[in-house]
Amino acid sequence: MEVANGDRSPTAWKNPTCIFSPTSANDVSLAVKILAFTGSKYAIRSGGHSPLEGWASIDNGVLILMSEMKDLSYNTADQTVRFGFGNLWGDVYHYTETLGRLPVGGRVGTVGPMLTPGGGLSHMSNRYGFSVDNVASFDVGTHSKLKYAMLIFPRLCLLMEASLLLAHPPSPISSGL
């Protein structure tokens, strides 16, 4: 139960049948293939900040915890930071600020990166727009219309990141959206 609920708002506490904590994109891809096949209900959690019921946990279903997806790297060439959904903004900022850079992200370090596909109001928004406007790419695509996909599929974003679209519907966003 501690893993299932942690210190999140009890309004969001649930009792999942199964908790899966992927450590690689392939793990997530496999999980989603299985879930698509079985038709099981599932929930996905990144930072788990949301108090809304069913958003980041589930009763009688599978909870996918992204907490081990902690990759975090900076690309000097295009000045972007790439990070897995197991990081919180504090993790990202602590890292990029050692390099003299900041992304347009959450206003407190304890919130997770699912803030971005919700729109994402940042302390830097007045100059650079919302967090969702500052996505350089997902692993599956860079087209400008990506923003629409992110806003419509907030939960999907977590899985897109882990190549869901390579695994499930056969039309990669990178080529068409």
Partner 1 sequence: MTLKTYPSGKIWGGLVIYSTQYQDQLMAAFATYQKEGQISNKDTAMLTYVGINNQTIFATYVAYGATSCPAALQPFFDIPAVFDGTSTYETFMALTDANPVDFVVKRWTYAMTNIYLDNTTYVDAANACKEFADQMSTINGGTYALMPQPISTSMIDASKSTGGNAMGLKSRPQLWFTVNIGWNYAADDAKAIAIAAATMAKIESITKSRGLYDPFIFLNDAAAAQKAIRSYGPENFSKMGQVSKKYDPYSMFQTQVPGGFKIV
What part of residues 74-103 is at the interface with partner 1 (CB under 8 A)? 74-75, 79-83, 85, 90, 93-94, 96-97, 100-103
Task: Name the CA radius of gyration of the chain, rounded.
Answer: 16
Q: Which two tokens stand for residue 170?
A: 């056969």
Tell me which DSSP letter residue 112 carries: -
Q: Do 173 and 139 form a contact (C-beta atoms < 8 A)? A: no
Looking at 16, 31, 42, 88, which residue binds partner 1 (CB under 8 A)?
Answer: 42
For 69, the enclosing helix (H) or strand (E) is: none
Number of residues near partner 1 (by CB under 8 A): 87
Which one, of 85, 83, 91, lies nearest residue 67 by Cα? Answer: 85
156 part of the interface to partner 1, by CB under 8 A: yes
Tell me which DSSP letter residue 162 carries: T
Least Cβ distance, residue 59 to partner 1 (angstroms) = 9
Tell me which DSSP letter residue 82 carries: E
> Footprint of partner 1 on residues 113-132 (CB under 8 A)?
113, 115-116, 118-132
Looking at 31, 56, 66, 88, which residue binds partner 1 (CB under 8 A)?
Answer: 56
168 part of the interface to partner 1, by CB under 8 A: yes
34 part of the interface to partner 1, by CB under 8 A: no
